[in-house]
Amino acid sequence: MGLRKEFQEGAAWVRQHLDFDLNVEVSVFEVNIRFVGGLLAAYYLSGEQVFLAKAVDLGKRLLPAFNTPTGIPWAMVNLKTGVGRNWGWASGGCSVLAEIGTLHLEFEQLSHLTGNPIFSEKVRNIRDVLDRMTKPQGLYPNYVHPSTGNWGQQHVSMGGLGDSFYEYLLKSWLMSGKMDEQARRMYNEAIEAILKHLLRRTPGGLTFIGEWKNGFVERKMGHLACFAGGMLALGVDSTPEELTADGGQAGEASEPKNHLEMAAKIAHTCHESYDRAAVKLGPEIFRFDGAAEAVGTRHVEKYYILRPEVVETYFYLWRITKDPKYREWGWEAVQALERNCRVQGGYSGIRDVYSSVPSHDDVQQSFFLAETLKYLFLLFSDDSVLPLDQWVFSTEAHPLPVIPRIVNATKQEPSLVSS
């Protein structure tokens, strides 16, 4: 973005003050996606060793979280003592699917960059455990127990608790230069089951991905689940020709051309969730019950906390289809952010998207800078800026390079802008 002075200030702060030798308990998932991923991307984009050194130090401090009978990591670990545990709220002491499934990209990069296979071994084991488990109707429940390796509560979601597990299967395959076939197969199978069991169409013609609870579909979609439009489109865009032919290896339900249609429909539904709100930004949860379609109906679900998933989907669909409506929708979001979320010290979340006078929550989430603004910037940039065939965006939108056969690859780094 040309913000070189600001970047140098940030780099100086990292050099002088960023220290992970702390007696604190952190979320393995959040620290991985925000800190390890952010530091790795900063290293790749700048070449400055300090970012790599900090990422490796932090990665090593996360390793004790994997000391469980199955190797499925704890949700939390103390960075100094290495003691781990799970969230008290998670079903029966389980680990969360989205959390354990969203370490792969960063950990593979750590092994690639250090030559130490330990990080890669840890995440490949998670993948293998999940691959071996029997899935109810092919679906992946959101809770897995780290001691028994059994599923917890039978809740399946493309939104919170599940989301980035699916995303990282596809992106692991992409980041490996399409060599990680296990990841692609598991992605195809998981998405096929999700589309078969969770996809619904409303009387008003909107398509949504609901949530599955013990065999019943709850007719709601979270803002988080809106990333799926971008993911489905990316899955088609990156698929070899032979897989897109009729009767191709991907099978009817996961036939990639259908995925592009699905992606466009989900983008449309998510845009409607924005358009039907007074501030033109969408709620945290929107429902499809009776007359309510793509509308938040419960007071506690009407907030918007500067989340990126809807503009993320616009970004991928713009790159892949070049339909100008995605830039138009993105511009609507920019204007709505300026109108409703801009405050003196930056940008703030709002408590109720159906109130035309915004009530600010006084929080600027870090993913607003890392993701929301980045995807908006990229939506209006040329395709040659961080080209999708050379870079994979982590779930926190940190760009990581495609490295064929990642662990054995020679350290070849792609250019930021393709020639």
Min CB(349)–ligand DMJ separation in Å: 11
Min CB(164)–ligand DMJ separation in Å: 4
Beta bridge partners of 77: 26, 84
400, 109 in Cβ contact below 8 A?
yes
Q: Which of 86, 188, 254, 395 binds ligand DMJ (CB under 6 A)?
A: 395
| Residue 332 to residues 228, 271, 274, 358, 375, Cα–Cα distance (Å) | 20, 10, 9, 17, 14
**Nearest Cα to Cα of residue 342 among 327, 367, 364:** 364
Q: Which is nearer to ligand DMJ, 30 or 48 (CB)?
A: 30
For CA atoms 259, 265, 271, 273, the dihedral sign is negative
Please tell me whether residue 374 binds ligand DMJ under the rule CB under 6 A: no
Six token digits for residue 336: 């709505």
| CA 225 – CA 161 distance, rounded (Å) | 10
Min CB(374)–ligand DMJ separation in Å: 11
Given 211, 284, 312, 396, the catalytic residue: 284
Please tell me whether residue 164 binds ligand DMJ under the rule CB under 6 A: yes
Q: Which is nearer to ligand DMJ, 142 or 395 (CB)?
A: 395
Binding mask 280-319 for ligand DMJ (x = CB under 6 A): ---------------------------xx-----------
The footprint of ligand DMJ on this chain (CB under 6 A) covers a number of residues equal to 9
Min CB(223)–ligand DMJ separation in Å: 7
- Which residue has the CB atom at the shortest distance from ligand DMJ? 395
Please tell me whether residue 224 binds ligand DMJ under the rule CB under 6 A: yes
Please tell me whether residue 273 binds ligand DMJ under the rule CB under 6 A: no
| CA 49 – CA 11 distance, rounded (Å) | 11
Q: Which of 20, 43, 212, 367 binds ligand DMJ (CB under 6 A)?
A: 367
Binding mask 312-351 for ligand DMJ (x = CB under 6 A): ----------------------------------------
Q: Which helix (H) or strand (E) holds 288?
A: strand 285-289
Q: Which of 36, 276, 396, 403 binds ligand DMJ (CB under 6 A)?
A: 396
14, 373 in Cβ contact below 8 A?
no
Min CB(391)–ligand DMJ separation in Å: 16
270, 315 in Cβ contact below 8 A?
no
| Phi and psi torsions of 220, nearest 5° | -145, 155
State yes or no: is 284 an active-site residue: yes
Q: Which is nearer to ligand DMJ, 108 or 163 (CB)?
A: 163
CA 289 to chain centre: 27
Min CB(395)–ligand DMJ separation in Å: 4
314-315-320 Cα angle (round to 5): 95
SS3 (DSSP) at 209:
strand
Six token digits for residue 61: 């401090």
| Residue 209 to residues 169, 212, 225, 232, 395, Cα–Cα distance (Å) | 19, 9, 8, 12, 19
Q: Which is nearer to ligand DMJ, 111 or 394 (CB)?
A: 394
Min CB(158)–ligand DMJ separation in Å: 12
Please tell me whether residue 171 binds ligand DMJ under the rule CB under 6 A: no
The two counts, helices (H) then strands (E), for the chain are 16, 17
User: Residue numbers of the site for ligand DMJ (CB under 6 A)?
Assistant: 33, 163-164, 224, 307-308, 367, 395-396
Q: Which residues are catalytic?
A: 284
